[in-house]
């Protein structure tokens, strides 16, 4: 998935095109929502349209959907056989971040990243109780030792003084529209092609059915 938002903003809405040329939008001019399963017949095409500023305001007021106006071109998808289906994927997750105790800078947590603040370049200190001073750690037989003590024949371990803390940021969302079509009914795979719109792009790819999860929704 690409891109996250603090809220599940809707950037597009669908308009179903019927055989007789009628177009039924997901949101009417007043911002009221029309459900996909209320369509009178299977559409021959679907157009994903970006919200205008005016429609986004009305949708927020009437349907309580966080519509966001953007500058983008509509995407038309034709029924290639076997029907056509639209929906959304909405997934919530938290992103761990690292906070530098020294300067307060935060950055995304990566398990294999260097333990150094990218802003003030501070690192964890290692304190030797014997020397009563910070020492550069020496790794010996999977132990972290004081090099000064080791030179004197002692295997004195060092105490790590943490300069960072890992925190979980607030809930973020990944919110994507999709349209699926492309293979006759009666086959094992219900669709062949998926058109997917993320925050910053539209992609066309072969459709591979995922395991069904509660996050998958049809709108």
The predicted structure's pLDDT at residue 31: 96
Q: Can you give the pLDDT at residue 181? A: 87
Q: What are the pLDDT digits (tens) for 96-155?
A: 888 898 888 888 777 767 778 888 988 889 999 999 999 988 988 888 899 999 899 888
pTM, to two decimals: 0.55
Q: What is the pLDDT of residue 139?
A: 86
Full DSSP string of the chain: ----BSS--B-EEEEEE-TTS-EEESB-TT--B--GGG-SS--SEEEEEEPPHHHHHHHHHHH---B-------EEEE--SS-EEEEEEEEEEEEEEEEETTT--EEE--TTS-SB-TTT--B-EEEETTTTEE---EEETTEEE-HHHHHTT--PBPEEE--EEEEEEEEEEEEEEEEEE-S-TTSSSS-SEEEEE-SS-EEEEE--PPPP-TTEE--
Q: What is the pLDDT of residue 1?
A: 33
Instruction: Note the pLDDT of residue 208.
Output: 73
Using CA of residue 46, residue 52, residue 55, residue 57, what is the dihedral sign?
A: positive
* pLDDT given for residue 156 in this prediction: 84
Enumerate residue ranges in the chain where pLDDT < 50: 1-4, 212-217
pLDDT at 162: 87
- pLDDT given for residue 29 in this prediction: 94
């Amino acid at each position: 998935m690409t891109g996250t938002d603090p809220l599940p903003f809707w950037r597009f809405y669908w308009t179903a095109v019927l055989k007789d040329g009628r177009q039924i939008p997901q949101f009417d001019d007043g911002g009221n929502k029309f459900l996909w399963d209320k369509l009178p017949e299977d559409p021959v095409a679907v157009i994903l349209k970006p919200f205008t500023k005016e429609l986004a305001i009305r949708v927020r007021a009437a349907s309580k959907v966080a519509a966001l106006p953007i500058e983008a071109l509509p995407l038309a998808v034709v029924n290639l056989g076997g029907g056509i289906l639209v929906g959304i994927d909405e997934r919530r997750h938290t992103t761990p971040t690292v906070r530098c105790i020294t300067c307060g800078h935060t950055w995304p947590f990566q398990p294999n990243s260097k333990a150094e603040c990218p802003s003030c370049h501070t690192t964890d200190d290692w304190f030797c109780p014997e020397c009563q001073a910070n020492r550069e750690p020496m790794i010996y037989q999977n132990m972290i030792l004081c090099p000064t003590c080791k030179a004197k024949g002692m295997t004195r371990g060092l105490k790590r003084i943490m300069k960072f803390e890992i925190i979980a940021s607030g809930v973020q969302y990944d919110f994507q529209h999709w349209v699926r079509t492309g293979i006759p009914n009666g086959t094992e795979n219900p669709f062949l092609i998926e058109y997917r719109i993320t925050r910053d792009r539209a992609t066309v790819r072969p459709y591979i059915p995922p395991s069904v999860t509660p996050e998958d929704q049809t709108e």
